[in-house]
């Protein structure tokens, strides 16, 4: 009986547990509730994915009202994959947060921290499953508001300004999305995304729809941090608490990419987005710029967290590149990179959290010789970095491989070259860290530093192992990504 309600359970479990965290004010109780809630959501997500793979699309009518009268939850392969990413990363990060909090956060309000964390999780998953355009905005705002709070909890005072900047940019982005939804509503009279998609061709692609399209792309672009709309991201990721950075870097931008995919391909439709409007070429150019400029900037950063924040902007470039091919292979590559990037950036930021936990800094010079004191942590770093660069047998390789395949299919050999060259830049910034950690003499004050505690190492290694596992057994992510790509392109 419960199984038919899984699509809504996955959202309301964290939603109900967030206020519960506050009512049970004790730190351990709140932690326990948060942990159970994220794991339960992950279990639901797994069951949903299994159902989607066997039965196809799932629809759930909230309040029992049929869409477009009521709000609908609609899950296909793409939604399921995003759901898996968000809840999966959430379940790894939740246990990690317990220990890292001790250093980075004031203890007496930790129950509220867990509450905010659950809300962020709930909001992101809510965006990922909803079939209603306005509902998407509401859940987007739940996740955004909670992430502003979580970022502002960082140690450094610059976390506050980073959070404020994100709040302004994020709200402008969300308002643009609202404008777009409003214009679509005025053109079609409905808010259900499937219904909009059905009614748009009948309505015709007039100037209102073109304007709606522009606002959606810019609004989602602000949330994704597509180059050059990425200004909020480096500071936010650098100064947020490690746990938060790991969670947001692995999930938030992915969900925003999902919004872009869903609107470009399903709501507006491939015909309008790419055949009537010349969207592919500008996306391609932005993607290539994103692959290079932030990567080069990353090479000159001193704070390692910042290095990987810029690297995230660059990695978003690969996802947009996949989209800009407008082919099944290209989309598969882009969606696959969503999944794989979540694994590798999650792992990398968790490693940095371990280091921060022990030495209170992520500065590249302070990390000199740290591999001798924290061998397991740095080994995890190397593993995740190899995936980031795209070495064979890692997850990162698979998505780059599909990107190259897609470029080859199009006959764009120069894009292939650019993918390889940009990966080499990643080698440079990763090498700077490895050089410092492995080949420099540790300063004297590092003598007392010991390996990170198991409660931090285990979640970190789970993600690192995930990077290797999904580099070898690619059936789950590739299968889902291909299904999703085919349904987005309208190919069976």
Partner 1 sequence: MKEYLVLRVITKLLLPFILLFGLYVQFHGDFGPGGGFQAGVIFAAAFILYSMVFGVHAAQAILPEGILRAGIAGGVLLYASVGVLDLMLGANYLDYSPMAAHAKEGQHLGIFLVELGVGITVASVMMTVFFTFAAWRED
Partner 2 sequence: MVEVIDIIILSLMAATVIAMVVIRNLMAVVALGGIYSLLAASIFVTLDAVDVAFTEAAVGAGISTVLFIATLALTTRIEKKPAHKPILPLFVVIVTGAVLIYGSLDMARFGDPNAAAITHVAPYYLENTKKDTGIPNVVTAVLASYRGYDTLGEVTVIFTAGIGVILLLGSWRRGLTPPSPHREDDA
Partner 3 sequence: MEDFFGLYNYWIVIFLAMAGLYIVIARGNLIKKLVGLNVFQASVFILYISFGKVTGGTAPILVKGVEMYSNPLPHVLILTAIVVGVATTALGLALVVRIRKEYGTIEEEDIHSQDESM
What residues line the site for partner 2 (CB under 8 A)?
15, 18-19, 22, 62-63, 65, 68-71, 105-106, 108-109, 112-113, 115-116, 119, 122-123, 126, 132, 134-135, 138-139, 141-142, 145-146, 148-149, 152-153, 155-157, 179, 183, 185-191, 199, 203, 206-212, 214-215, 302-303, 360-363, 366
DSSP string computed for 317-346: HHHHHHHHT-SHHHHHHHHHHHHHHHHHHH
- The nearest distance, CB 21 to partner 1, in angstroms, is 8
- The nearest distance, CB 173 to partner 3, in angstroms, is 12
Q: Tell me whether residue 33 or residue 252 sits nearer to partner 1 (CB atom).
A: 33
Structural element, H or E, at residue 12: helix 6-23
Q: Tell me whether residue 173 or residue 466 sits nearer to partner 2 (CB atom).
A: 173
Q: Are 96 and 246 in contact (CB under 8 A)?
A: yes
- The nearest distance, CB 419 to partner 1, in angstroms, is 44
Which partner, partner 2, partner 3, partner 1, none, binds residue 303 by CB below 5 to 8 Å per kind?
partner 2
Our CA dihedral for 351, 352, 357, 363, rounded to 10 degrees, sits at 150
Distance CA 16, CA 24 (A): 13
Which partner, partner 2, partner 1, partner 3, none, binds residue 175 by CB below 5 to 8 Å per kind?
partner 3
Note the residues at the interface with partner 3 (CB under 8 A). Answer: 134, 137-138, 141, 145, 148-149, 152, 157-158, 160-161, 163-164, 167-168, 171-172, 175, 178-179, 182, 185-186, 191
Which partner, partner 2, partner 3, partner 1, none, binds residue 168 by CB below 5 to 8 Å per kind?
partner 3
Residue whose tokens read 């302070």: 366
Note the residues at the interface with partner 1 (CB under 8 A). Answer: 1-2, 5, 8, 12, 15-16, 18-20, 22-23, 60-65
Q: Tell me whether residue 108 or residue 444 sits nearer to partner 3 (CB atom).
A: 108
Our CA dihedral for 111, 117, 120, 121, rounded to 10 degrees, sits at -120
Q: Tell me whether residue 252 or residue 371 sits nearer to partner 3 (CB atom).
A: 252
Which partner, partner 2, partner 1, partner 3, none, binds residue 108 by CB below 5 to 8 Å per kind?
partner 2
Which partner, partner 2, partner 3, partner 1, none, binds residue 357 by CB below 5 to 8 Å per kind?
none
| Tokens at 18, concatenated | 């967030």
303 Cβ contact partners less than 8 Å away, ≥ 6 residues apart: 238, 362, 363, 364
Q: Which of 329, 433, 355 is nearest to 389 (CA)?
A: 433
Which partner, partner 2, partner 1, partner 3, none, binds residue 178 by CB below 5 to 8 Å per kind?
partner 3
Q: Tell me whether residue 86 or residue 389 sits nearer to partner 2 (CB atom).
A: 86
Q: Tell me whether residue 234 or residue 317 sits nearer to partner 3 (CB atom).
A: 234
Which partner, partner 3, partner 1, partner 2, none, binds residue 1 by CB below 5 to 8 Å per kind?
partner 1
Q: Tell me whether residue 40 or residue 210 sits nearer to partner 2 (CB atom).
A: 210
CB atoms within 10 A of CB 468: 17
Q: Which of 367, 372, 316, 375 is nearest to 340 (CA)?
A: 316
Structural element, H or E, at residue 73: strand 72-75
Distance CA 350, CA 165 (A): 24
Which partner, partner 2, partner 3, partner 1, none, binds residue 126 by CB below 5 to 8 Å per kind?
partner 2
Residue whose tokens read 């995919």: 261
Label residues 222-246 b or e (16+ Cβ within 10 Å = b): bbbbbbebbebbbbbbbbbbbbbbb
Q: What angle do CA 31, 463, 479 make, to 5 degrees?
A: 115
Q: Which of 385, 406, 371 is nearest to 468 (CA)?
A: 385
Which partner, partner 3, partner 2, partner 1, none, binds residue 363 by CB below 5 to 8 Å per kind?
partner 2
Cα–chain center distance at 331: 16
Which partner, partner 1, partner 3, partner 2, none, binds residue 122 by CB below 5 to 8 Å per kind?
partner 2
Q: Tell me whether residue 19 or residue 282 sits nearer to partner 1 (CB atom).
A: 19
Q: Tell me whether residue 192 or residue 329 sits nearer to partner 2 (CB atom).
A: 192
Q: Is 440 helix (H, G, I), strand (E, B) or coil?
A: coil
CB atoms within 10 A of CB 476: 15
Q: Tell me whether residue 29 or residue 208 sits nearer to partner 3 (CB atom).
A: 208
- The nearest distance, CB 115 to partner 1, in angstroms, is 8
């Amino acid at each position: 009986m419960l199984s038919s309600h899984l699509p809504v359970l996955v959202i309301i479990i964290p939603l109900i547990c967030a206020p519960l965290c506050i009512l049970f004010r004790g730190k351990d109780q709140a932690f326990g509730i948060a942990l159970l809630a994220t794991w339960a959501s992950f279990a639901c997500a797994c069951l949903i994915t299994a159902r989607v793979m066997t039965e196809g699309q799932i629809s759930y009518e909230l309040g029992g009202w049929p869409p477009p009268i009521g709000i609908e939850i609609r899950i296909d392969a793409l939604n399921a994959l995003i759901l898996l990413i968000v809840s999966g990363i959430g379940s790894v990060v939740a246990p990690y947060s317990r220990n890292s909090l001790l250093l980075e956060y004031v203890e007496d309000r930790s129950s509220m921290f867990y509450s905010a964390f659950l809300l962020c999780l709930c909001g992101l998953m809510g965006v990922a499953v909803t079939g209603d355009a306005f509902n998407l905005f509401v859940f987007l705002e739940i996740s955004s508001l909670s992430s502003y709070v979580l970022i502002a909890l960082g140690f450094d005072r610059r976390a506050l300004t980073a959070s404020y900047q994100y709040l302004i940019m994020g709200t402008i982005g969300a308002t643009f999305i609202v404008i777009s939804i409003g214009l679509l509503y005025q053109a079609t009279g409905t808010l259900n995304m499937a219904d909009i998609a059905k009614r748009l061709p009948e309505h015709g692609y007039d100037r209102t729809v073109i304007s709606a399209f522009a606002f959606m792309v810019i609004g989602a672009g602000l949330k994704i941090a597509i180059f050059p709309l990425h200004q909020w991201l480096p500071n936010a990721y650098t100064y947020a608490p490690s746990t938060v950075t790991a969670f947001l870097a692995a999930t938030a931008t992915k969900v925003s990419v999902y919004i872009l995919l869903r609107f470009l391909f399903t709501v507006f439709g491939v015909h309008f987005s790419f055949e009537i409007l010349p969207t592919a070429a500008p996306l391609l150019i932005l993607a290539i710029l994103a692959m290079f400029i932030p990567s080069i900037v990353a090479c000159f950063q001193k704070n390692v967290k910042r290095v990987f924040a810029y690297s995230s902007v660059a990695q978003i470039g690969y996802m947009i590149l996949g989209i800009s091919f407008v082919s099944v292979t290209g989309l598969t590559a882009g969606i696959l990179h969503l999944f794989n990037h979540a694994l590798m950036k999650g792992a990398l930021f968790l490693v940095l959290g371990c280091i921060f936990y022990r030495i209170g800094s992520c500065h590249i010079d302070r990390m000199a010789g740290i591999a001798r004191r924290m061998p397991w942590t740095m080994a995890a770093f190397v593993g995740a970095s190899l995936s980031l660069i795209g070495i064979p047998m890692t997850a990162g390789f698979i998505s780059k491989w599909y990107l190259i395949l897609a470029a080859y299919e199009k006959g764009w050999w120069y894009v292939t070259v650019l993918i390889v060259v940009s990966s080499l830049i990643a080698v440079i910034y990763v090498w700077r860290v490895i050089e410092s950690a492995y080949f420099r003499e540790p300063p004297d004050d590092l003598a007392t530093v010991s390996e990170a505690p198991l409660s931090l190492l285990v979640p970190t290694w789970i993600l690192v192992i995930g990077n290797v596992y999904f580099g070898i057994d690619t059936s789950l992510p590739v299968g889902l990504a291909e299904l999703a790509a085919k349904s987005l392109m309208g190919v069976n």
